């Protein structure tokens, strides 16, 4: 992991691009300060997305959203401050407040990295909602995808804890067998979300995200869809929840849409001690800590952190 000021950004990017086969995750932490007191009356990820779109200095962000892949290799967080993430509308901030949001991107695109580093020390003024804001990059983090890890090992004395900070949306279709005859029926179904942290659905989604981020499958299969299905089935059979605390949260995305997902945490224990399986789970959960889990990660949903805990004797 690398954290540097602007002097070293270009050098670090060059090193990552040359030596990291799978690319890297580029984490950008933004700071938002209004000139005057203002109340944000919309879902805050929509607010921060609009700030970036309205700013000339951060116009490269628009290109990320134009990516036509169904699983996009980036995520955008809601606003957050001293009391955690702020999802709902109605938060008021003034010039004495410092709020932040994160943009995390998996990429090997040198032009994108040049765009980010070129505005690293700039303070951009943005006008919107009848108010003016200062938007700046607070910090930049570069992590090689090849080196992603949460430290999960084959000692048999560890469990994995997943913490879902914002509503997580897992499509019920994720674990449907990708058979041609079956896919037609699934495509005609409405997009429904399961409201609990199914390990099969989580791992199937993360296998798709891994492929989107790296261009490589996390496990073998005749197609990427089959690889994701196999990964989901593997986790469903071997990765067992031993404790959890989950609640449901509904957020008002706009005037017409209210979106419901689950937040909370789950603790998972692996039932086998296969080094290959452990390595796969370690990598996809480390990627989840950077890019999140589930649908609509690019508008603040599915912000997740994964870490290992030692089992007590």
CATH of segment(s) 6-146: 2.40.30.310
Mean pLDDT of the chain: 87
Q: Which two tokens stand for residue 246?
A: 């989950």
pLDDT band at 1 (very low <50, low <70, confident <90, very high): very low
* Sequence ranges of the chain with CATH classification 2.40.30.310: 6-146
What per-residue string of b and e applies to 218-252 under the rule 16 or more CB within 10 Å gives b? bbebeebbbbbbbbbebbbebbebeeeeeeebebe
Angle at 284 between CA 43 and CA 146, to 5 degrees: 115
The distance from CA 140 to its chain's CA centroid, rounded to whole angstroms, is 16
Q: Which residue has the higher pLDDT, 26 or 125?
A: 26
Q: Rounded to two decimals, what is the model's pTM?
A: 0.90
pLDDT tens-digit profile of 171-213?
999 999 888 888 778 888 888 999 999 999 999 999 999 999 9
pLDDT tens-digit profile of 286-296?
999 999 999 99
Please check the confidence at residue 81 and state whether its pLDDT lies above 90: no
Q: Would you tell me which CATH number, out of the four given (3.30.70.1900, 1.25.10.10, 3.90.650.10, 3.30.2320.50), belongs to the domain 149-310?
A: 3.30.70.1900
List the one residue out of 46, 38, 14 whose CA is nearest residue 252.
Answer: 46
Give 118's contacts (C-beta < 8 A, 6+ positions apart).
none
- DSSP designation for 74: E
């Amino acid at each position: 992991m690398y954290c540097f000021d602007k002097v070293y950004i270009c050098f670090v990017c060059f090193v990552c691009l040359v030596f990291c086969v799978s690319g890297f995750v580029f984490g950008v932490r933004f700071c938002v300060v209004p000139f005057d007191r203002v109340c944000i009356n919309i879902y805050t990820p929509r607010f921060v997305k609009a700030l970036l779109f309205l700013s000339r200095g951060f116009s490269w962000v628009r290109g990320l959203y134009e990516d036509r892949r169904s699983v996009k290799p980036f995520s955008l967080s809601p606003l957050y401050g001293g009391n955690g993430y702020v999802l709902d509308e109605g938060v008021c901030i003034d010039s004495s407040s410092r709020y932040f949001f994160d943009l995390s991107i998996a990429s090997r695109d040198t032009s994108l990295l040049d765009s980010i580093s070129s505005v690293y020390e700039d303070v951009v003024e943005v006008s919107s909602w009848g108010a003016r804001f200062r938007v700046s990059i607070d910090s930049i983090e570069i992590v090689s995808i090849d080196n992603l890890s949460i430290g999960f090992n084959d000692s048999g004395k560890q469990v994995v804890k997943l913490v879902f900070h914002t509503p997580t949306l897992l499509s019920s279709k994720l674990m449907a067998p990708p058979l041609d005859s079956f896919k037609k029926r699934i495509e005609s179904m409405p997009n429904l979300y399961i409201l609990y942290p199914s390990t099969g659905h989580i791992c199937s989604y993360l296998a798709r995200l891994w492929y989107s981020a790296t261009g490589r499958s996390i496990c073998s299969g005749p197609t990427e869809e089959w690889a994701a299905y196999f990964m989901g089935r593997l986790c469903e059979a071997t990765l067992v929840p031993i404790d959890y605390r989950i609640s449901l949260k509904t957020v008002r995305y706009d005037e017409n849409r209210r979106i419901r997902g689950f937040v909370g945490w789950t603790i998972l224990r692996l039932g086998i001690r296969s080094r290959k399986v452990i390595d796969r789970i370690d990598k996809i959960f480390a990627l989840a800590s950077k890019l999140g889990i589930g649908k609509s990660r690019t508008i603040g949903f599915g912000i997740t952190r994964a870490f290992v805990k030692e089992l007590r004797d």
